[in-house]
Amino acid sequence: MNTPEQPHSCDLSFEDTAIAFAGKDNNELKKSVRLFSLMGFPPLVAVGSRLTRLALHLRLPVEGLVRATIFEQFCGGTSIQECIPSIKKLMQFGVHTILDYGVEAKEEESELELAAQKLVKTIRYAQDDPDTNIISSKITGLIRFDLLVKVSSGEALSGLEQQEYIRGRKRVKFLCKNAFESDVQVYFDAEESWIQPAIDRIVTEMMSTYNKKKAIIFNTVQMYRHDRLVFLKESVKKARDGNYFYGVKVVRGAYMEKERARARKMGYPSPIQPDKASTDRDFNAGITYCLENLDIVSFCNATHNEESCLLLCAQLEDLEASNTHEHIMSAQLFGMSDHISFNMAKAGFNVAKYMPYGPVDEVIPYLLRRAQENTSVGGQVGRELKFLREEKTRRGI
């Protein structure tokens, strides 16, 4: 273990709203309160999501409204250049940035090629900016979704599909090779369970190639799936046997309702845990397992759950490992859970915000998931509003 560079403390608290919202001026604070107040009404979010999709489909002029509301809250900008002020503001408070070019589920080869080029440009930026040395990507931004379905199910590919799949894998390798040469980490997101087997195989292959000296390529495990803790342990063993570092982002998950609905419709057992307690149990067990294997595991504790962050703090103390251990990052989404991010950074932990960027119409799927997730995850909007309102009261505004 690293020698501690600073004192440990499990007196970590998320209650100091002055720290949590130090990066927001009064107008920004009031705007966030209004937005989360609206998001506290699930029917409004559901109707708004449908209307937004319809308006964009009909090419109605709604981008300005989207940009001034949920886009501004949850995205850094339409380009890397627009993100820079937010990146620099976060770093004033010790919070790094994970840049995420927010494209996904592209169909045309030209769109997939463009996404690969954009992601490499993101790597180039991250190489030169010490405040953001991690980028995020979705495999569905590089390989067509339906093709991943076929590969994951073991269905035979036609000759043309085989060639398409080879080109897609080349795009992924192109991205990973550039990340390796630039010493920039890439977090590949987990996606729907019916394409995840193909994603896991591709990302594992990239790890075995580029993670020989340190973790550059990271997979993601969604602990709301009941099989992922076993998968995590098997993946670490595979890395040991293959003599490479295992990089992993541990999350709870983002497609729960979609997963359950598909399982019901198609008549197979749901891959989702029976309840939240089971998800929490496996998430925390996953973090513990990563800490027990820090010699070859680099991991991101990607959570909005206070208890999981306190667990990490306590276990680091037990291991006499530094809060700033180079194999450990904690992360929250940009625009959410500032009470966790800023207070952990203040306490000396490695912390980053996951910052999507891209044209407004390209990141709409991400934005709508954020809005819907905030209404469906128990207490999420309530927690956000609680801390925002407390800070508003503290400032007397």
Q: Indicate the domain borders of the chain.
A: 17-395
Residue 366, both tokens: 């991400």
Residue 68, pLDDT score? 82
In the predicted structure, residue 88 carries a pLDDT above the cut 50: yes
Percent of the chain past pLDDT 90, that is, above it, reads: 76
| Whether the Cβ atoms of residue 246 and residue 207 lie closer than 8 Å to each other | yes
Task: Tell me which residue has tokens 């886009």.
Answer: 71
> Who's near 233: CB < 8 A, 6+ residues apart?
289
| Buried-state track 26-56, b at ≥16 Cβ within 10 A, e below 16 | eeebebbbebbeebbeeeebeebbeebeeee
SS (H, E, C) 79-142: CHHHHHHHHHHHHHCCCEEEEEECCCCCCCHHHHHHHHHHHHHHHHHHHHCCCCCEEEECHHHC
Quick one: CA dihedral 262, 265, 270, 274, positive or negative? positive
Mean pLDDT of 67-95: 93
Residue 200, pLDDT score? 98
Tell me, which fold does domain 17-395 have in CATH?
TIM Barrel (3.20.20)
- At 219 the three-state DSSP class reads strand
| Whether the Cβ atoms of residue 187 and residue 137 lie closer than 8 Å to each other | yes
Mean pLDDT of 159-184: 98
| Whether the Cβ atoms of residue 295 and residue 319 lie closer than 8 Å to each other | no
Least confident of 2-6, 28-32, 85-89: 2-6
Percent of the chain past pLDDT 70, that is, above it, reads: 88
Measured CA to CA, the distance from residue 200 to residue 207 in angstroms comes to 10
| Whether the Cβ atoms of residue 99 and residue 122 lie closer than 8 Å to each other | yes
17's enclosing H/E stretch is helix 17-20
Residue 247 to residues 127, 156, 203, 323, 329, Cα–Cα distance (Å): 19, 30, 10, 18, 11
| Whether the Cβ atoms of residue 214 and residue 183 lie closer than 8 Å to each other | no
Task: Tell me which residue has tokens 């598909």.
Answer: 262
Mean pLDDT of 102-127: 90
Mean pLDDT of 362-386: 69
Q: How confident is the model at residue 61 (pLDDT cuts 50, 70, 90)?
A: low
Q: How confident is the model at residue 4 (pLDDT cuts 50, 70, 90)?
A: very low
Q: Which carries the bigger pLDDT value, residue 88 or residue 2? A: 88
Residue 153, both tokens: 């199910």
Amino acid (1-letter code) at residue 249:
K
Least confident of 22-31, 68-77, 277-286, 362-371: 362-371
- Residues for the chain: how many in total? 397
307-354 pLDDT per residue, tens: 999 999 999 999 988 999 999 999 999 999 999 999 999 999 999 999
Query: How does DSSP assign 252-281, residue by residue?
Result: --S-HHHHHHHHHHHTS---B-SSHHHHHH
Mean pLDDT, the chain, whole residue set = 90
In the predicted structure, residue 128 carries a pLDDT above the cut 50: yes
Residue 6, pLDDT score? 43
Q: Are strands 351-357 and 96-101 parallel, antiparallel or unpaired?
A: parallel
What angle, 0 to 180 degrees and rounded to 10, lies between the N-to-C axes of helices 306-319 and 276-292? 20
Measured CA to CA, the distance from residue 295 to residue 385 in angstroms comes to 40
Partners of 249 in beta bridges: 220, 300
129 φ/ψ angles, rounded to the nearest 5 degrees: -120, 110
